[in-house]
Structure 1
Amino acid sequence: MQNIFALIGLGLILFVIYWRVFYLNRKKAIHFKTPKKFPKEWRKLLQENVHFYQNLNSKEKALFEKKILHFFRNVRITGVKIKVELLDRLFVACSAVIPLFAFPKWQYPNLNEVLLYPEVFDKSFDDKAPKKTIAGMVGTGNGMDNMMILSRKSLRNGFQIVSSKKNVGIHEFVHILDKADGTIDGQVGSLNKTEFAKPWFELMEKEIEKIEANKSSIDGYATTNKQEFLAVTSEYFFERPRLLKKNHPKIYKLLKKTFNQSMAKRMSSPFKKRNQIGRNDPCICGSGEKFKNCCLNN
């Protein structure tokens, strides 16, 4: 009997947290009507802020824009304690489109809504907590199925920090793809043949050992589990493909097959078309260090 009451109590606590986070704290949703044609001002924003889009030819850009409109028609983007700006919406949609760009018919049937928080948050979805570390997550259970949560600040940094190998939007959408075949196992089984699985997991195991021994340029968060290894290396693949190919050619090769995109060939140097920053300028990641002593080294 005590166990039953304990479970009921836990359920009530989770319900209160869910109610506070996903209803009371939401900004009143602004009706966002998806246009039939891609607006010129949207195209300008993409050209100025999205490196992937900058490197597409005219035909590819038209396809990219079409996929963004399709995403907006099927997925809500809601601000929690913030007003969602147009650039935020475009960054979310680009995060979704980039991993699937080479798969014309693939969608995100297991996603209905993306919630944007102003900052990173903790496990209780508190963005004011002293030990907040979460920049994004894919919801599971407790009414959070088919939902994604992103820190707007982290989302913007993923597209605007020139030297970063990180993009939290792409990271979380790769988790959605991983989840799409019903199994979160660190491979995007729905996009490629299972023949990639064995070499991928063997390579993953060896690389995790190198990361733990500080002999890898891959972020240490990749050692958390198989699904995080996939998401972290996918960020690297789409953000800094030439560097990944140079430092980890085997991983690059398998991700190239997985996403059906030759990113190193497609992408120009991120320093040519994205916002420039001087070596002695404050690093735009917010660390307070000079750029040369912070993100430039990565």
Structure 2
Amino acid sequence: MPRDSVPIILHYKDSAFTVYSLEEYSQLPDSLKGSVEQQYYVDSVYNVLQYINTPAAVKEDDGSQDSGFSIVMIVVFGIIAFNIYRLIRQLIKEQNNPADAATFETDEGNEPEPAVRYLIYKGDELKFSDDEVHTVCKKYNPYYQKLNADKQPVFVERVQEFIRSKDFYICSPKGYKEMPILISASAVQITFGLKDFLLPHFSNIIIHPEEYFAYDPFRILVGNVQGHSISLSWKHFLQDYQNPTDGKNVGLHEMAHALQVQYLFRNPKRSNTFKEDYEHYDRIDDDVLNAEKTSGKRLFDENALRNKNEFWATSVELFFEKPIELKTQYPDLYESLRIVLNQDTAAM
């Protein structure tokens, strides 16, 4: 995407986003564009920057270079002073009102409205009963609903262990008990056939209410894995579990990336069972990827065809959400995933 020569940083209550062009700004959600006044302000800033960065010979054509430049400098210094003032006010406000965690809200709506912008929960301090975990998974997780009765207690115990091993950061003043339970359940789901399932490299689960922004490059995301954190959009996470057969599930997708990082990239020279089994998948994924690029009837979306990491994560999504289609169209790929994950979802 073409960029203007100087970026603009948009400051909000608890975040700041860098925008490199008016085209990028126009693609922001309305909630982030702000008021009409703010949109006019951004447009004006870009006009100022374009004028400043216009070659002098071009400026002379309008016959008002000196007076125009003086006005521009006044506007620029005014904008800088205004933003410094806003930043100082925000820092003072945050020092006087530190954000402390509140208790989880539940569907009943009886909890008081928290006065914070984000919540932090230590997983080992969240005391959910096995009945609570069972009830939530039974209601929202189709995979859990298909499990035999004797497997469900094992699944619940793994969810409890996974929760205890993570810290949950909720980028919203409201938290729900379904958040740590269901996100942990998505990790347990793809690792249910494996002995090691805690993904210890990842200590943080970051939950955004909806789409969020990432830097370098500037982009809108619904989920990503970076450093020691797994980040997800709660809105998209719920939507994907409500439609369990469309082949799209951001929870499974990001947990698949995390699984890959944990066992393939974190200690690349260290041998483990997952890495050995992954070789079955690695021997045939190129053939399927190339077939998808040239096929008129695709099972994978465009994002999956970008690179092998995305192809892996999407393959895991399809393994759980469209197992019959995957097994029918690409039986070797399905069999390799069955070996890697030690599960047979088509038989559930």
Q: Same fold (TM over 0.5)?
A: yes
| Cα deviation, residue 161, structure 1 | 1.3
| TM-aligned CA distance change 1:36 to 1:29, over 3 Å | closer
Letter in 2 for 1:35: K
Q: 1:119 aligns with which of 196, 207, 210?
A: 210
Classify 1:44/1:28 alpha carbon distance in 2 versus 1 (closer, same or farther; 3 Å): closer
Match of 2:179 in 1: 88
Q: Which residue of 2 aligns with 1:58?
A: 149
After TM superposition, the structure 1 = structure 2 runs for residues 29-68 of structure 1, keeping only pairs within 5 Å, are: 29=120, 33-35=125-127, 37-38=129-130, 40-68=131-159
2:191 is equivalent to residue 100 of structure 1: yes
Shift of residue 219, structure 1, vs aligned partner: 1.7
Q: Which amino acid aligns with 1:98?
A: Q
Assess, with a 3 A threshold, how the Cα gap between structure 1 residues 28 and 105 changes in structure 2: closer, same or farther.
closer
What secondary structure is seen at the aligned counterpart in 1 of 2:282? helix
Amino acid at match of 1:57: N
* Partner Cα separation in structure 2 for residue 227 and residue 217 of structure 1: 17
Q: 2:212–2:220: 8 Å Cα contact kept in structure 1?
A: yes
1:177 and 2:177 aligned:
no
Counterpart for residue 309 of structure 2: 227
Q: Once the 2 structures are TM-superposed, how far is the Cα of residue 95 of structure 1 from its aligned partner?
A: 1.1
Query: How far has the Cα of 1:37 moved from its partner?
Result: 4.2
Unmatched tracts of structure 2, length 5 or more? 1-8, 17-97, 100-115
Distance 1:227 1:260, change over 3 A: same
The equivalent residue for 1:167 is 249
Q: Which has the higher strand share?
A: 2
Q: Distance in 2 between matches of 1:216 and 1:184?
A: 32
How many Å separate the matches in 1 of 2:332 and 2:325?
13
Q: Match for 1:155 among 216, 232, 237?
A: 237
TM (norm. structure 2) is 0.60
Distance 2:253 2:273 in 1: 16
Letter matched to residue 229 of structure 1: F
Change (3 A) 1:100 1:162: closer
Q: Deviations over 1:173-208 (max 9, x none)?
A: 1111111135289xxx844353652x5334222222
Residue deviations 1:122-170, cap 9 Å, x none? 3239xxxxx964110011xxxxx21111111111112111432111111
Q: Secondary structure at the match of 2:169?
A: strand
Preserved contact between residue 82 and residue 117 of structure 1 (Cα < 8 Å)? no
Distance 2:309 2:263 in 1: 13
Deviation at 1:36, TM superposition (A): 7.0
| Equivalent residue letter for 1:203 | I
CA RMSD, Structure 1 to Structure 2 (Å):
3.2
Task: Return the index of the structure with the highest Cα Rg.
Answer: 2
Correspondence for 1:138 among 199, 219, 225? 225
Larger RCO, structures 1/2 (Cα 8 Å, 6+ apart): 1
Alpha-carbon separation, structure 1, partners of 2:157 and 2:338: 23
TM superposition score normalised by structure 1: 0.70
Deviating above 4 A after TM superposition, structure 1's stretches of 4 or more consecutive aligned residues are: 23-26
Match of 1:203? 284
